[in-house]
Amino acid sequence: MASIELDIRIVPPREKHPTIFRTFDALPPGEGFTLVNDHDPFPLRHQFEATRPGQFAWTYVEQGPAVWRVLIEKSS
Amino acid sequence: MPLAVTSAIAAELTPEAFDAACRDRGLDGQELVLDTGTEGVAAATRARTSGARVLAVRAVRLDLDDVPALAAVSARFGVPVSVPPDQVGLDAVPALAIAFARAGGQLLLGQRTDLGAMVALAEAIDATGDPASLGIAWEVRPSAERLTDATALILAAGDRLGLVRLHGGGPEQRDQDGRGVGPLLAELALSRFQGPIVLCPSDPARLPRWRAWLGSTTSAGCGHGKDPRRLDLDVRDVEPRDRLAAILDAYRALGPGATLHLTVDHDPSCMYYTLEATEPAGSFEFRTVAHGPEVWRAEVTRR
CA atoms within 13 A on the CB side of B97: 19
Element at B18 (helix H, strand E): helix B15-24
Per-residue pLDDT at B219 exceeds 50:
no
* Shortest Cα–Cα distance, A55 to chain B (Å): 17
Residue B13 structural domain: 3-215
Query: Which chain B residues contact residue A24 at CB under 8 A?
Result: none
Task: Return the number of CB contacts < 8 Å for A and B.
Answer: 123
How many other CB atoms sit within 10 Å of the CB of residue B49?
10
Residues B171 and B36 in one domain: yes
Say if residue B48 is in the same domain as residue B186.
yes
The CATH number for A37's domain is 3.30.110.40
Residue A70: list chain B partners with CB under 8 A.
none
Enumerate helices (H) and strands (E) in chain B, giving the number of each. 10, 12
CA separation for the pair B17, A34 (Å, rounded): 29
Residue ending a domain, choose from B182, B215, B248: B215
CB B22 within 8 A of CB B5: yes
Question: Within an 8 Å CB–CB cutoff, is residue B214 touching chain A?
Answer: no
Number of domains chain A is built from = 1
Q: Give residues 238 to 257 of B whose Cβ lies within 8 Å of A.
A: 239-244
B194 touching A, CB under 8 A?
A: yes
CATH number of the CATH domain containing B281: 3.30.110.40
Residue-wise burial string across A10-32, b where 16 or more C-beta atoms lie within 10 A, e elsewhere: bbbbbbbbebbbbbbeebeeeeb
pLDDT value, residue B158: 95
If you average pLDDT over every residue of chain B, what do you get? 88
Give the model's pLDDT for residue B203.
93
**Which residues of chain A fall below pLDDT 50?**
none
- Cross-chain Cβ contact B241/A36 below 8 Å: no
Q: Is residue B134 part of a domain?
A: yes
pLDDT of residue B227: 54
On whether the pTM is more than 0.90, the answer is no
**pLDDT tens, B77-87?**
899 999 999 98
In total, how many domains does chain B have?
A: 2
- Is residue B203 situated within a structural domain? yes
Taking only the tens place, the pLDDT of each residue in B164-187 is: 999 999 989 888 988 999 999 999
Tell me the pLDDT tens digit for each residue of B68-119.
Answer: 989 998 998 899 999 999 988 999 999 999 999 999 999 999 999 999 999 9
Percent of chain B with pLDDT over 90: 50
Compute the nearest-CA separation of A58 from chain B (Å): 16
Do B142 and B242 lie in one domain? The reply is no
Distance from CA of A75 to the nearest CA of B (A): 17
Element (H, E) at B31: strand B29-34
Q: Is B266 on the interface with A (CB under 8 A)?
A: yes
The answer to whether the Cβ–Cβ distance between B26 and A18 falls below 8 Å is no
Indicate whether B174 and B277 sit together in one domain.
no
pLDDT at B217: 57
Please report the ipTM that was assigned to this predicted complex: 0.86
Tell me if chain A has a CB within 8 Å of the CB of B166. Answer: yes
